[in-house]
Every structure is written in structure tokens, then in C-alpha cells.
Amino acid sequence: MPLSSTVHPDLTALCREGRLKEALHILLTTHNPPEHYSTYFQLLQICLLKNALSQGKKIHCFIAHRRFAFATRITFHNKLIYMYVKCESLADARKVFDHMKERDCLSWNTIIAAYRRYGYPHEAVALFRRMQQTGLQPDQFTFASVLPACAKMGALEQGIDIHKSIMDRGILLDIVVATALVDMYAKCGSIDRARELFDKMPQRNAYSWNAMIAGYAQNGFAEKALETFNQMQIAGIKPDTATFASILPACAKMGALERGTYIHRSVKGSGILSDVVVATALVDMYAKCGSIDKARELFDKMTRRNVVSWNAMIAGYAQNGFFEKALETFNQMQLVGVKPDSATYASILPACAKMGALKQGMDIHQNIMEGGYLSEIMVGNALVDMYAKCGSLDKARDLFDKMPQKNVVSWNAMIAGYAQNGFCKDALKTFELMKHSGTYANIVSFACVLCACSHAGLVDEGCTYFNYMTDAYCIKPTIDHYVCMVDLLARAGYLEDTLKFIIKMPVKPVAVVWLCFLGACRSHMNIGLGVFTATLLIDLDPINAAPYVLLSNMYAEVGRWAEVQMVRRLMKDKGIKKIPGCSWIEAHKIVHVFCVADRSHPQTQEIYAKLDKLTWEMKAAGHFPDSRHLLNDVEEEEKELFLCHHSEKLAIAFGLLNTTPGTTIRVVKNLRVCAECHTATKFISKIVGREIVLRDVNRFHHFKQGECSCGDYW
Ligand code: ZN
Ligand code: ZN
């Protein structure tokens, strides 16, 4: 036929040039298609390179209908399977595989590797077992595919079985298989076996070193990971992207800034600083080591950033206490069009919670719903926690009740929320509900329950739960539980009993235990015990300002000014500074920060005018600032002025000026609210007819109509 001589050269040329569509058109329209395998082999090769699934299917169909002689060959089927795998159609690949009358090692290897690669390690291992049953001998490629599948599943026993088959086959010395074995043992947590094998390997490459380093890092042996990294460099093997992606998190975990910086130099030397994974790991390392400015500098220099990079920066700010910065970065991320994921939300929601930024938190809640992340338990827990910490307990409860799945973290968030907001009976009720739901209470649950008891002064209940925890749950109390108990007993006024309790504690009483006790000594005005405890504390933690402040406040309250002066001199001599009090308030989705006597805010004039007005109104209502709570023995009038300008008062005045009348004002403070501000806020809530929610470092105060939810017990 004359046609065949004209069509075939065209088809061959088109194949050579990779022009798939035209080649396919000729193939489907010609009356005389080529019968030789090589043309189809070439066509399928183009399909797999170009990821052209539909064209690949057409060619497959065409061949099947023509019943070409080569269509029964194993090599042809293997090529088809490979084409489908490359075109990401595992189902089609499997169909071809299942219809094969005969299979060789390559058929099995291709399908096993495909199942592993597409995230079905279980099926990969099952296929491997079937292959062994057929009597066909697996080769090094089979092992290199099935071992990572075991690693993924943490299937150590299956891994050991495969290791045995490898030894039987005598191909242990193959570097790829040996590395896969090291990796499998490391990922299954059998790190010693991994090391033993690694040490026996005659030539190790970068992959082998990476498997060992990653193994140590993932099993929590950060020090060992670093050591192996150094050995790798001594051995003259150049670290690559994967090495840095393992070693940097190890540094981050240990807070090893110096070594992290050293590795940073090594990254620069390797010329892979532009790699997004490595650069992100560096940002994360600097952030976790507390070097947040360095992290930001690197982050800003990155040419390409993905969601993980943004998450590292946001989490970094949040973990280092720069909550406003975390929110700012979260907003920037959305502006540049990067979609947040559940890890982003798990970092940003606690930042909102810390600042009491309820409006922002609600916006993020909306985002979460739109993104379809609400059903993720980690995100749900963070939301419940955020609402509870922002004092919006009804919202927290509503979300909590609607959660499709709850774990112990969800329950703890709800219990802690009730406890901190002063709804102690609800906290205990929720704890009982949790017990009935079948969720097992943990260390944190009991800490929340004891905290609830201590906030409400429920001494008997607290003691009962403490004993219940140790007896029924066999939980050894940690220092957190002891702090709660000391707080509970001491604040209720059982000072002598508390002292006995502290002395009998099986753990060493750390500074916070004594600080708790000292706080109680002050509120019960037991100066003798107070001086004793403060002296002890100053010895224990000489640079902490708190005992000095508590002690001098105690002296000031009884007018012993000489002692007040002495304590102040001591603080000055030792260079100890009080933590400046500051308060946060959110308005129009911006968080405003105020320090004591702050005059930096653009609305300063109005804020101070508002405060002056409030002070007059409070005086008219019968409230005069109680100047005993001030350190300085200055003139009465000056003291009064200073007290009026505590950060929480500035924030409240700002809130009154900038929020809709009638709405709740929410303020967060970094220290404990002072007695004067507490009383003043009660008056203010009545004068302006607004609910004021003030969260201090210990708990929530809901002020309403001249009363506080804490019942003045705080
Ligand atoms: Zn105050
Ligand atoms: Zn209160």
C-alpha cells in the first residue's frame, strides 16, 4: 500500500519530536497503523513524560482493540503500568497489573513502589507478601520500596522479617538497601539497631548519613543527631537539603543557638540557602532558640515562602511572647494570598487567647469554617481554648458541645476555661462529665480541677480531688499540683497547715510555691511569716522582683515606711527591676497596649480626661483611691494620681471611648490586678453600666453592676 510508506516516517518523526497530539491523530486516522512495538513504546514514553493520562488511555485502548502480537508481552504491560503510575492513575495501573497472566520482578517492583509513593504503605507490604508467595525472588529495588513502607507504618516486625529475607538473598551490602534498612529501623524507633547496621556499612553516601541523622532527630536524640552530623562532615560527605532539614529541628529542640548558627554557615557554604525547606528550617531554628529578630531577617530575605515558612514565623512570634507580631504576620500571610492550614490556626489562636483578642479570634473562627478545618480536633481545641481565655465561655461551650470528636485536651480546655473565669462549680461538673464520657483524665485535668477549687476557696473538695488523683488514678502529683494545693490552703487562711504541707512535700518546693505562700501571707497580713518567706525566696531566686515587691507592700500597708525604704534600697543595690505592668485591649480589630502612666497613645489626651472624669464620678459614688497599695511613700495626692494611671485603668478608659456603648469591655493584664484597680473597676462597671472582663495573670474578673465574679476572693 502506498499510504504506509508516507505515514510511518511522519509518525516516527512526530514521536521523536514529542508531538503527541499530532502523532495520535495520525495513528487514529490511518488505515495502516504500524504493528511494531517500538512506535507504541515511544508513544507511551511521551505520555508518561508529559503526564498525559487521557492520550495514554487512548493508545492503550487502540492497542487492546487491534490485538497486536506484542500486546501479550510482559514488557508491554510493565510499560503500561509505569505510564499509569507516572500519570498518577493508580487504579488503572492496578487494573493492568491484575489482568497480567504472567509477571516479572519489574511488574511487582513498579506496583509496590507506586502504592508506597501514593501513601498506601499497607497495600505495598501486602503486595510484597504476595510476590514472595509466587516464588519470585525480590531484588534490591523491591526491598528499597517495601522497607520505606514498613518505616511509614512503624511495622518493626515486618521490617525485621524483610531484613532476614535480604540476608538470605545476600544483598545486604547494596548501599541503597542498607540505607533503607537503617531508615526503617530508625523510623520504627529501633535506633540502636539502625546505628549497628549503619556502622557496618562499608561505603556510606549522603542518603545513609541522612537516614541516621533523621533517625536520631525524630527519636528525640538531638545531641546524637548533631554528633552524627559532625562525623558526616569529618568523613567528607557534603550535607544536602535533607541533612539540613533533619539537623536544624534537632538544634531547635535543644535550643542550641550556637550550633544552629554554625550550621547556618554550613548551609551558606553549600549554596542551598535558597531552598525553601532549608530556609524555613533555619527560620524555625532561630525562632525556637529565641533569636526572633534573626528569624525575621532570614524570613524577609526568602525569595519563596510556603505555608510552612509562614507557620514557622507565626509560631515563633507566639512562642516568644510577641503576640501582636504573630497576628500581624498572620494578616500579612493572608494579604499575599497564602492559605492558612491547621498548623497556622494552632499557633495563631493561642496568641489571640493570650491577648484576649476576641474579635480577631472570631474572624479566624470564620476563616476556619470557610477553609473546612473546623472538624480537625487540634483546631477545635484551640478555638475552645481561645473563646474560654477571652472570657467568652458560652461560645466556648457551644463549640465544645458541637465538636464531632473530643479528646482529653478538649475537656481540659473547657475545665480550665471555667476555672479561670471563676465558674468553679461548672469546672467540677465538667470534670465529672468527662469521667462519665469515658475520657481518661490526665495530669493537666487534675491541675485544672485543683485550680478551680483554689479560686473558689473549696478546701475540702480540693483535698478530696488531690487524694483521688493519687489513689484512684495513680498520678504522681507534679509541682503544678502542689502549687495549686499550697494556693488553696494558704489563701483560705490555713497558713500554719500550709507551711507543714510544704515541708512534707516529696518534691523540692520551687520559688513559685513560696511565692504563692507569700502572697497569702500578705493578704492575711501575717507579717512574721511573710518576712520569713520573703527572706527564703530572696535566697532561692535573688533576681526575682516579686518577693521584694510583696514584702514592701506588706510594710507599706501597716505604715512601716523605714522597712519599705530598706527593701527599696536593697532592690536598687541589686539592680532588680519590677516587671512593668501592661494591659491589652482590642478595638476595631487592632490590639492596643498600655503601660503604667503611659502617654504614648495617640488618644492620650482624651484617655486621661476620661480617667479624670471617672475619678470624680467614683469619688461622688463614695470611692476614694486606697493609697496603701503603693510602694512609694510620696505625698498622698501624688500617690492617688499614680494609682489612677495603672495600665488596666488606661485600657478601660480607652475602651469606654472606642467601643459601642453597652458592649462588654475586655482587658488583659500581664500581672495580678491590684486591690485598688479591682475596687475601682467595680465602681466603673456600675457608673457606666457596662460589663468589664479583666483577665489578669491568675484568672478572670467579670465586673458587672459594681460586683466582681471572683467575689473579691483572688
Ligand atoms: Zn492597679
Ligand atoms: Zn475580681
Decide if 116 contacts 146 (C-beta within 8 A): yes
Instruction: State the ligand closest to the CA atom of 680.
Output: 1
**What is the Å distance from ligand 1's center to 360 Cα?**
27
Radius of gyration of the chain (CA): 34
Ligand having the closest approach to the CA of 594: 1
Cβ-contact 462, 432 below 8 angstroms:
no
**Residue whose C-alpha is closest to residue 346's, from 362, 370, 368:** 368
For ligand 2, the distance from its centroid to the CA atom of residue 419, given in whole angstroms, is: 13
Q: What confidence tier does 495 reach under pLDDT thresholds 50, 70, 90?
A: very high
Q: What distance in angstroms lies between residue 699's CA and the mean position of ligand 2's atoms?
A: 9
Ligand whose nearest atom lies closest to the CA of 631: 1
Separation of CA 322 and ligand 1 centre (Å) = 24
Q: What is the DSSP letter of 628?
A: G
Region 72-98 average pLDDT: 93
Centre of ligand 2 to C-alpha 695, Å, is: 9
Cell 518576712, located at residue:
531
Query: Smallest Cα–Cα separation from 159: which of 208, 125, 113?
Result: 125
Cross-strand bridge partners of residue 702: 693
Identify which ligand lies nearest to the alpha carbon of 669: 1
701 CA → ligand 1 middle, Å: 14
Q: Which of 141, 130, 63 is nearest to 103 (CA)?
A: 130
Tens digit of pLDDT for each residue in 321-351?
888 899 999 999 999 999 999 999 999 999 9
Residue keyed to cell 507557620: 311
Cα 161 to Cα 159: distance, rounded to the nearest angstrom: 5
Which of 156-170, 293-307, 367-381 has the least mean pLDDT? 156-170
According to the per-residue pLDDT averaged within each range, which of 129-133, 169-173, 640-644 is highest?
A: 129-133
| CB atoms inside a 10 Å sphere around CB 548 | 20
In the reported structure, the alpha carbon of residue 451 is separated from the centroid of ligand 2 by a whole-number distance in angstroms of 16
Query: Which ligand number lies closest to the CA of residue 701?
Result: 2
Mean pLDDT computed over 381-389 = 95
Nearest listed ligand to the Cα of residue 700 = 2
Residue 700 sits at φ, ψ, to 5 deg, of: -100, 150
**What is the whole-number distance in angstroms between the Cα of residue 510 and the centre of ligand 1?**
28
* pLDDT above 80 (res 640): no
- Quick one: average pLDDT of 542-564? 85
pLDDT > 90: percent of the chain: 52
What pLDDT sits at residue 1? 40
Sign of the Cα torsion 380, 382, 387, 393 reads: positive
Ligand 1 centroid to residue 673 C-alpha, Å: 6
Q: Is the per-residue pLDDT at 249 higher than 70?
A: yes
Residue whose C-alpha cell reads 473538695 in the numeric block: 461
Q: What is the pLDDT of residue 5?
A: 44
Using CA atoms, how far apart are residues 385 and 393, in angstroms rounded to an integer?
10
Question: How many C-beta atoms lie closer than 10 Å to residue 223's C-beta?
Answer: 13
C-alpha dihedral over 603, 609, 615, 619, to 10 degrees? -160
Mean pLDDT, range 205-226, rounded to an integer? 89
Q: Is the pLDDT of residue 238 over 60?
A: yes
Q: Determine the distance separating the centroid of ligand 2 and the alpha carbon of 710, expressed in angstroms.
A: 4
Asked if 207 and 223 count as a contact pair (C-beta separation under 8 A), the reply is: no
Residue 633 has pLDDT above 50, yes or no: no
Compute the average pLDDT of residues 77-83.
94
Q: Which ligand is nearest to the CA of 675?
A: 1
Q: Each residue of 654-702: pLDDT tens digit?
A: 999 999 898 889 888 888 888 889 999 999 999 999 999 888 877 788 8
Give the list of residues 6+ apart from residue 377 with CB closer than 8 angstroms, or none: 403, 405, 406, 407, 409, 410
CA of 490 to the centre of ligand 1 (A): 23
Q: 694 φ, ψ to 5°?
A: -115, 120
| pLDDT of amino acid 501 | 93
Band the pLDDT of 4: cuts 50, 70, 90. Answer: very low
Q: How far is the CA of 712 from the centre of ligand 2 (A)?
A: 5
Distance 70 CA to ligand 1 centre (A): 89
Say yes or no to pLDDT of 151 above 70.
Answer: yes
Alpha carbons 337 and 326: distance in angstroms, whole number = 17
Give the distance (Å) from ligand 1 centre to CA of residue 601. Answer: 19
pLDDT for 111 beyond 90: yes
| 422, 712 Cβ separation under 8 angstroms | no
Distance of CA 711 from the midpoint of ligand 2 (Å): 6
pLDDT at site 627: 57
Cα of 682 vs centre of ligand 2, distance in Å, is: 8
Q: How confident is the model at residue 92, as a pLDDT?
A: 93
Q: Residue 583 CA: which ligand is closest?
A: 1
pLDDT higher at 682 or 581: 682
Determine the distance from the C-alpha atom of residue 625 to the mean position of all C-alpha atoms in its chain, rounded to a whole number.
Answer: 44
Identify the nearest ligand to the CA of 626 by its number: 1
Cα of 674 from ligand 1 centre, angstroms: 4
Coil, strand or helix at 693: strand
Q: How far is the CA of 491 from the centre of ligand 2 (A)?
A: 15
598: CA distance to ligand 2 center in Å? 24
Cβ neighbours of 677 (radius 10 Å): 26
pLDDT number for residue 634: 43
Order of strands, sheet of 700-704, starting from the edge strand that comes earlier in the sequence: 590-595, 582-587, 665-669, 692-695, 700-704, 707-708
- How many CB atoms are closer than 10 A to CB 542? 10
Residues pairing with 701 in the sheet: 694
Q: What is the DSSP string of 436-488?
A: HHTPPP-HHHHHHHHHHHHHHT-HHHHHHHHHHHHHTS-PPP-HHHHHHHHHH
Query: Rounded distance, CA 326 to CA 338, Å?
Result: 15
d(CA 560, CA 541): 25
Ligand nearest the Cα atom of residue 581: 1
CA 697 to ligand 2 center in whole angstroms: 12
Q: Is the pLDDT of residue 632 over 60?
A: no
Tell me what pLDDT residue 675 has: 82
The mean-pLDDT minimum among 158-162, 213-217, 518-522, 537-541 falls in: 537-541
Instruction: Classify residue 436 as left (phi > 0), alpha (psi -120 to 50) or beta.
Output: alpha
CA 256 from centre of chain: 20
Q: What is the pLDDT of residues 117-128, one digit of tens each?
A: 998 999 999 999
What is the number of the ligand closest to the CA of 644? Answer: 1
Distance 702 CA to ligand 2 centre (A): 7
Average pLDDT, the chain: 88
Q: Say yes or no to pLDDT of 104 above 90.
A: yes
597 CA distance to ligand 1 centroid (A)?
Answer: 11
Q: Give the mean model confidence (pLDDT) for residues 82-107.
A: 93
Q: Cα of 520 to ligand 1 centre, how many Å?
A: 18
Among 82-91, 139-148, 307-316, 563-572, which is the least confidently predicted range?
A: 563-572
Ligand 1 centroid to Cα of residue 288, in Å, is: 34
Task: Check: CB of residue 353 under 8 Å from CB of residue 385.
Answer: yes
Question: Of 189, 257, 193, 184, which is closest to residue 218 (Cα–Cα)?
Answer: 189
On the question of pLDDT at 52 being above 80, the answer is: yes
